[in-house]
Structure 1
Amino acid sequence: MMRTLLVRGMLAGLIAGVLATLFAYFFGEPSINAAIGIEEAGAAAHSHTHDPAPPAAHDHGAAAEPEEELVSRDVQSTLGLLVAVGVYGTAIGGLFSLAFAFVYGRVGKLRPRLTAAALGAFAFAVVFFVPFLKYPGNPPAVGKAETIGERTGLYFGFVALSLIVAVLAVVLRGRLTAKFGAWTAGLLGIGGYVVVMAVCAWLMPIIDEVGGDFPASTLWTFRVSSIGTQLVLWTVLGLTFGALAERVFAKKAVAVA
């Protein structure tokens, strides 16, 4: 059963990754291309200002050729994007199936399809959306190269913190259900998670490296498309895996009968 769910999860993750890639290509790539154009224009202006070309009389060799890209931008935005998001979706799908196997029948009494949908919504909020509110993604030309390690560490640290607090909130909800009922206990669990994460977000360092001259519309479009890509990924993963898991449990019920 577990192996079957794992395979179904990876398949659902692959499907979700492909659809998320299509969304990212049509809605996210235009803002990335615009940001790359801004970055290249800024680099060119900086070069002309601080590093003027030597006089032509001193040029005894051929003109310097621009450094060739190892992977072209066209490949990065198509095949590269598909491979990256596809692999990510497949891996996430496998982890999603393990989480489903753990919570199914233990947290609530929902059918497999509804359990997977609820788990997908939970994962989107806890793994992506809440950390994104604190440390939103930035397009090219935004951020300093020397701080990328710090920014990456803070982001993944906040993701881990969000997961831990969310699990504790689910445990709290389970312990309060008998006393207050499922609805009230659920609200208390959600409220506790929101309060703790708000305090953590307030205490953790703030990183804002967006220059005042960077177009707000490009930044907005990039971040909205990032949210949309993740929303497509987790929604499709939850719904697709739920449908596949429903069939697995239906076949098991028929076999037992």
Structure 2
Amino acid sequence: MTRDLLWRGMLAGILGALLATLFARGFAEPQIDLAIGFEESHSAHHAAQEHAGPAHAEPQEKDLVSRETQKGAGLLTALALYGAAVGGIFSLVFAYGYGRMGHLGPRSFALLLAVVTFVLVVVVPGIKYPQTPPAVGQHETVALRTAAYFGMIALSLGAALVAVRVRNALARPGRGFDATLLGLVVYLGLVGLGQFVLPTINEVPADFPAVLLWKFRLASLGTQLVLWATIGLAFGLWAERVLRRGRSPR
């Protein structure tokens, strides 16, 4: 049955990636185009000042991959691979956790798991390291920013595991709420400590349009929300059918 759930989770992730791609094309990519235009005009302005005139400005190098390819096939491929991967992991976590949290049905548990994952993997790390357009940031710090962001994700997930263990260790009949509250406090404390220890990275230019940055971050958050909502809803529906059959796939 786990294998049956696995490929359904991957399929749900790919479906979520398709819908997230459509959302990103409509809301996130226009903001990226504006951010790239801002960076190009900003660079041209500085180059003109350094060379005392625009006539001496060096021509900019062309991208190896065109923006149309990046916004189309590139975006879809990246999100599809990501969706299939996280969808498969999601299905394995579902298979392990289903039946361990009261009497939640497959669809309710899948949706709850998707909401919790969205908070742990997207919202909490985004508080420390909010999304910025690709045109913003220094090329020399890409490795540092990437490592710090994934470190924040690992910290959030690790803190959640510790919080669950604390909650389960203290849970007693009639004291479940107190144990859950204490587990939440442990999670927030660990995450807060980690955010204090991890490096602060702020490379957004002072003159970068605040409205553009805000719209991009909302669009990025919305793209992830579409992905995880689709995984939770679609996988929950398919998992319910598998569990109703009560037999392993042939």
Do these two structures clear the TM 0.5 threshold for a shared fold by scoring above it? Answer: yes
Q: Aligned-residue CA RMSD in angstroms? A: 2.2
Question: In structure 1, what residue type is equivalent to 2:48?
Answer: H
The answer (yes or no) to whether the contact 2:167–2:182 under 8 Å persists in 1 is yes
Aligned to 2:217: 223
State the alpha-carbon separation in 1 of the partners of residues 128 and 226 from structure 2. Answer: 21
1:117-156 → structure 2 map (5 Å cutoff): 117-156=111-150
Bigger shift: residues 42-51 or 32-41: 42-51
Max radius of gyration: which structure?
A: 1
Q: 1:111 to 1:182 in 2, by over 3 A?
A: farther
State the alpha-carbon separation in 2 of the partners of residues 240 and 70 from structure 1. Answer: 37
Bigger shift: residues 167-176 or 223-232: 167-176
Once the two structures are TM-superposed, the CA of residue 169 in structure 1 deviates from its matched residue by 1.1
Per-residue deviation, residues 46-92 of structure 1 (Å, max 9, x unmatched): 22222468999xxxxxxx98644332111111221111111111111
Question: In structure 1, what residue type is equivalent to 2:157?
Answer: L
1:165-244 → structure 2 map (5 Å cutoff): 165-244=159-238
Once the two structures are TM-superposed, the CA of residue 203 in structure 1 deviates from its matched residue by 2.6
Aligned to 2:103: 109
Bigger shift: residues 206-215 or 107-116: 107-116
Q: Does residue 1:10 correspond to 2:4, yes or no?
A: no
Aligned to 1:21: 21
Once the two structures are TM-superposed, the CA of residue 234 in structure 1 deviates from its matched residue by 0.8
State the alpha-carbon separation in 2 of the partners of residues 180 and 192 from structure 1. Answer: 20
Aligned to 2:8, what secondary structure does the other structure show? helix
The answer (yes or no) to whether the contact 2:32–2:135 under 8 Å persists in 1 is no
Q: 1:114 to 1:71 in 2, by over 3 A?
A: same
Q: 1:54 to 1:127 in 2, by over 3 A?
A: closer
State the alpha-carbon separation in 1 of the partners of residues 174 and 184 from structure 2. Answer: 14
Structure 1 regions of 5+ residues with no counterpart? 57-63
Per-residue deviation, residues 176-235 of structure 1 (Å, max 9, x unmatched): 222553333223222221222122212322111111100000100111111111111111
Q: 1:81 aligns with which of 75, 78, 94?
A: 75
Q: Does residue 1:252 correspond to 2:246, yes or no?
A: yes
State the alpha-carbon separation in 2 of the partners of residues 209 and 65 from structure 1. Answer: 25
State the alpha-carbon separation in 1 of the partners of residues 243 and 100 from structure 2. Answer: 16
Question: In structure 1, what residue type is equivalent to 2:207?
Answer: D
Aligned to 1:61: none
Identity %: 48
State the alpha-carbon separation in 1 of the partners of residues 190 and 55 from structure 2. Answer: 62
Aligned to 1:178, what secondary structure does the other structure show? coil
State the alpha-carbon separation in 1 of the partners of residues 152 and 61 from structure 2. Answer: 37
Question: In structure 1, what residue type is equivalent to 2:38?
Answer: I
State the alpha-carbon separation in 2 of the partners of residues 187 and 66 from structure 1. Answer: 55
Once the two structures are TM-superposed, the CA of residue 245 in structure 1 deviates from its matched residue by 0.3
Question: In structure 2, what residue type is equivalent to 1:124?
Answer: F
Once the two structures are TM-superposed, the CA of residue 134 in structure 1 deviates from its matched residue by 0.4
Question: In structure 1, what residue type is equivalent to 2:184?
Answer: I
The answer (yes or no) to whether the contact 1:13–1:91 under 8 Å persists in 2 is yes
Aligned to 1:59: none
TM (normalized to structure 1)? 0.89
Once the two structures are TM-superposed, the CA of residue 19 in structure 1 deviates from its matched residue by 0.7
TM (normalized to structure 2)? 0.91
